[in-house]
A and B are shown apart, each in its own frame.
Chain A
Amino acid sequence: MVFYGIAGTLLLISASKDKKKTKMALKKAWKSLQNMLPQLLAILLLIGIILAILDKEVIAEFLGASSGGIGLCIAAIIGSITLIPGFAAFPLAASLLENGAGYGQIAMFISTLMMVGVATLPLEITCFGKKTAIKRNIFAFVFSIIAALIVGGIL
């Protein structure tokens, strides 16, 4: 409900300043929602299916707090390779957490998911050159490991 409050307030401020722009913002919001909705729904259904099949014990075993280094590795590999938009990844991460995954493992999954892109590496190389693109991914990967260890250590 907090989000509805924030969005509503900003929308009112925006409307009082410029009605046309506000209209355009709403149009853009609607359009991006429309674009993302199929992906979003598909992921929700997929989560439902995966979690219905995998039981808590299996998740806890592979990604649980006690899965340690291997769990972190699995999370890192899945995160680096897959291309899940954050909007879809967070509910997935939240349900994995609810089902026994460890905080460090989930942080690893989210960080690599967002920063490391194996599938998009070719595109990145055409933009920044091979050296820079590969370096950026390696740095991001190392960062993810450190962040995961810290998050796992604190929470």
Chain B
Amino acid sequence: MKKSTTNLLKSYEYVLILIIIIALMCIIQPSEGYAAMVITKKNLLEMVYVIPPVFILLGLLDVWVPKETMMKYMGKNSRVKGIVLAFMLGSCAAGPLYVSFPIAVTLLKKRASFFNVFVFIGAWSTTKVPMFLFETSSMGWKFSILRLILSVIGILIIAKALDITTDNIDKEKIFNYVESEV
């Protein structure tokens, strides 16, 4: 009981510090402190409209899309199917980009193709479904769709560029490395 309270306090450490800062602002510079509260409240309300359903979608995607099945379909000869799956796998995932690196290593270990793995990383970074929904709600449809289209093109080009500029010896090195090390 006591331990969970300290854990809770620790994870909300920054929240508490920031609340104290706003409180101090209210004392020292009332107009700015008040403005900070108003802006925070407005943004908080906007979050309430989006956050809960987005997290439910995340949970559903997580449960219904098995990792292992997808790995099989992302090898060198998977062609369009592999690219589509790489996009789906990356787009359905949750978490910051660096979480995708270990997963990408696992994919490489299972001999998913170099190209597909970097499509996956690209998708993870920018075309995530929950993230996209969130982007539309804060940035508007026009901005988000334009960025989505550019991202898809960019991801494919980046993956292809990485695929082409890495010669087979280097690729083999990476494959061997992930097999032995990770």
Contacts of A44 in B (CB 8 A): 40, 43-44, 47
Q: Is the CB of B62 within 8 A of A51?
A: no
Q: Is the CB of A151 within 8 A of B43?
A: no
Q: Is the CB of B62 within 8 A of A6?
A: no
Q: Is the CB of A127 within 8 A of B58?
A: no
Per the bound structure, the CA–CA distance linking A40 and B134 in Å amounts to 13
Q: Does B39 contact A (CB under 8 A)?
A: yes
Q: Which residue of A lies closest to B126 (CB)?
A: A114
Chain B 29-72 interface residues, beta-carbon cutoff 8 Å to A: 32-33, 35-40, 43-44, 46-47, 49-60, 62-64
Q: Is the CB of A45 within 8 A of B22?
A: yes
Contacts of B94 in A (CB 8 A): 32
Partner of A3, one of B54, B63, B97, B138: B54
Contacts of A30 in B (CB 8 A): 55, 59
Q: Is the CB of B134 within 8 A of A14?
A: no
Bitwise, B139-162 to A at CB < 8 A (1) or not (0) is 100110011001100100110011
Known: A38-B12, A45-B15, A47-B39. A52 touches B63 (CB 8 A): no
Q: Is the CB of A90 within 8 A of B139?
A: yes
Known: A1-B49, A25-B60, A139-B158. A155 touches B97 (CB 8 A): no
Q: Is the CB of A7 within 8 A of B165?
A: no
Per the bound structure, the CA–CA distance linking A94 and B47 in Å amounts to 12
Partner of B98, one of A3, A123, A131: A123
Q: Is the CB of B139 within 8 A of A93?
A: yes
Whole-angstrom distance between the Cβ of A134 and the nearest chain B Cβ = 11
Q: Does A58 contact B (CB under 8 A)?
A: no
Q: Is the CB of B97 within 8 A of A117?
A: yes
Which range contains the number of B residues in contact with the other chain? Answer: 35 or more
What is the number of contacts between chain A and chain B, taking CB atoms within 8 Å?
215
Q: Which residue of A lies closest to B31 (CB)?
A: A52
Contacts of B147 in A (CB 8 A): 107, 110-111, 147, 151
Looking at B97, B98, B146, which has the most chain A CB atoms within 10 Å of its CB? B97
Partner of B143, one of A25, A47, A103: A103
Known: A3-B50, A21-B63, A136-B118. A28 touches B98 (CB 8 A): no
Q: Is the CB of A45 within 8 A of B104?
A: no
Q: Does B80 contact A (CB under 8 A)?
A: no
Residues of A within 8 A of B (CB): 1, 3-4, 6-8, 10-11, 14, 21-22, 24-30, 32-33, 38, 40-42, 44-49, 51-53, 83, 85-87, 90-91, 93-95, 97, 103, 106-107, 110-111, 114-115, 117, 120, 123-124, 127-129, 131-132, 135-136, 139-140, 143, 146-147, 150-151, 154-155
Residues of B within 8 A of A (CB): 11-15, 18-19, 21-22, 25, 32-33, 35-40, 43-44, 46-47, 49-60, 62-64, 94, 96-98, 101-102, 104-105, 118, 121-122, 125-126, 128, 131, 133-135, 137-139, 142-143, 146-147, 150-151, 154, 157-158, 161-162, 165-166, 170, 173-174, 177-178, 182
- A-B residue pairs in contact (CB < 8 Å), sample of 6: A7-B52, A29-B55, A38-B14, A40-B51, A48-B38, A136-B121
